[in-house]
Structure 1
Amino acid sequence: MSKNLLLIFTRNPELGKVKTRLAKTVGDKAALNIYTFLLHHTKEVTQNLSCDKAVYYSVKVREKDIWDATTYQKHQQQGESLGMRMQNAFQQAFDNSYEKVLIIGSDLYDLQEKHITEAFEKLHTNEVVIGPAEDGGYYLLGMKKLHPTIFQNKEWGTSTVREDTLNDLQNESVHLLETLNDVDVFEDIKDNPVFDQFLN
């Protein structure tokens, strides 16, 4: 067992249930295909990392899917809001004696191994690490102990999340990673040719 744990939050890939804002432009089938592609990308980025890894499913744990159970622990998200689901996942990790815990989503084509490695390294000298997303949220959050306030009173999915989170952490040392673009709406992919295959 490593002392470092990477939490990966995913949605179960079902038609009409994923990337709904993107689907308004490209349709449900293309949105599902794009999300499935992003899931595979997230697996490729994370599977060789030396930390422990845990996938948290939105609805139901899948036994036979892309996440190999010998590499990834599997759990179901618990809680009414995104904030509570993240808080509960962090709490479970710390209860299981992990010392550094990161969380990422599964919709970030720009994510690379180096971002996760840097985040764990920066937790040596910082209490919290945040990977800022261009839309005002964050694509990565890491900490060495639970900070419950950052999961409370947030308008999840809006442009104020990161600013509000940093306000909660004014008395803590925070390292900011490189800003990346997650995939939520058509504007996030329209200039990236890798997504053209899903739009024709």
Structure 2
Amino acid sequence: MRAETPHGPSPRASFPLAILAKAPVPGQVKTRLIPRLGKQGAAQLHERLLRHTLTIALEATSAEHIVLWTALEHSHTVFLELAKRHGIALRAQPAGDLGKRMHYALLSMRGPGLVIGSDCPVLSPALLSRCWHALQDADGVFLPAEDGGYALVGTRRSNMRLFEHIDWGTERVMAQTRRRADELGWNIAYPAEVWDIDRPEDIERWQRLAHCASES
């Protein structure tokens, strides 16, 4: 039940949210899962995760505040379909490493905002909202991942130094980023630890999670 105010239901908070995603091109996404799923199967899983992520995002904030930052094939039919169906914006990810691309997405926002990928199945509207509200008191917010990386970054104002000298794709990412934040003197919030889908056992974990949710 939604809380009532003297003027009616409380409006849902809308906040800037960027989703970084590759086009579901067989052989170029979820490559560590190709031995298990094949190129086509890995691409289908990637697309399924992207659609799931966008569904969660649309429940957390309004479509006009969501930007899908595209990679590989910027005019892929999946991207065009999602933009037309949901009214979200599409923008091409710039050249550079992951840190530069996240920094650019944050800089493109008019104020504080969040950046996520498309392979974390445990994100929820409530968790995204918690991260957004954490920025009211913190300089930055992260959702550390079990593999040593992170699934979400948010800042009140982005600073490229936060993303420099990071060994992207390794288990050292979050630890190195914490050091960058300390060097900046930033107060960082860590609302929760999450996990993403990179290995065959992650698929099985997601299937168990979905099965439990369907039974509840």
**TM-score for the superposition, normalised by structure 2:** 0.81
CA contact (8 A) 1:16 1:28 kept: yes
Question: 1:35-88: per-residue Cα shift (whole Å, max 9, x none)?
Answer: 111011011101133351100001343362223376311100002211111122
User: Which among 71, 78, 81 is matched to residue 97 of structure 2?
Assistant: 81
CA distance, structure 2, for counterparts of residue 140 and residue 133 of structure 1 = 9
Q: Hey, what does 1:53 align to over in structure 2?
A: 66
**TM-score for the superposition, normalised by structure 1:** 0.87
Q: Hey, what does 2:188 align to over in structure 1?
A: 174
Q: Which amino acid is the alignment partner of residue 46 of structure 1?
A: A
User: Which among 61, 64, 67 is matched to residue 83 of structure 2?
Assistant: 67
Q: Hey, what does 1:150 align to over in structure 2?
A: 162
Cα deviation for residue 193 of structure 1 reads 2.6
CA distance, structure 1, for counterparts of residue 132 and residue 209 of structure 2 = 30
CA distance, structure 2, for counterparts of residue 172 and residue 80 of structure 1 = 25
Q: Which amino acid is the alignment partner of residue 147 of structure 2?
A: D
Q: Hey, what does 1:27 align to over in structure 2?
A: 38
Q: Identify if the C-alpha distance between structure 1 residues 67 and 191 changes in structure 2 by more than 3 Å, giving closer, same or farther.
A: same
CA contact (8 A) 1:8 1:104 kept: yes
Q: Hey, what does 1:135 align to over in structure 2?
A: 147
Q: Which range moved further: 54-63 or 142-151?
A: 54-63
Unaligned runs of 5+ in 2: 1-12, 211-216
CA contact (8 A) 2:14 2:60 kept: no
Q: Which amino acid is the alignment partner of residue 181 of structure 2?
A: L
2:204 alignment partner, SS class? coil
Corresponding position: 1:5 with 2:20: no
CA distance, structure 2, for counterparts of residue 3 and residue 36 of structure 1 = 25
Bigger share in helix: 2
Q: Aligned ranges for residues 157-168 of structure 1 at < 5 Å?
A: 157-168=169-180
Whichever of the two has the greater Rg, that structure is: 2
CA distance, structure 2, for counterparts of residue 10 and residue 58 of structure 1 = 6
Structure 1 ranges of 4+ moved more than 4 A: none
Larger RCO (alpha carbons 8 Å, 6+ apart): 1
Number of matched residues? 191
CA contact (8 A) 1:9 1:57 kept: yes
Unaligned runs of 5+ in 1: none
CA distance, structure 2, for counterparts of residue 3 and residue 47 of structure 1 = 10
Q: Hey, what does 1:41 align to over in structure 2?
A: 52
Q: Which amino acid is the alignment partner of residue 190 of structure 1?
A: E
Q: Which range moved further: 172-181 or 26-35?
A: 26-35
1:103 alignment partner, SS class? strand
Quote the RMSD (CA, aligned, Å). 2.1
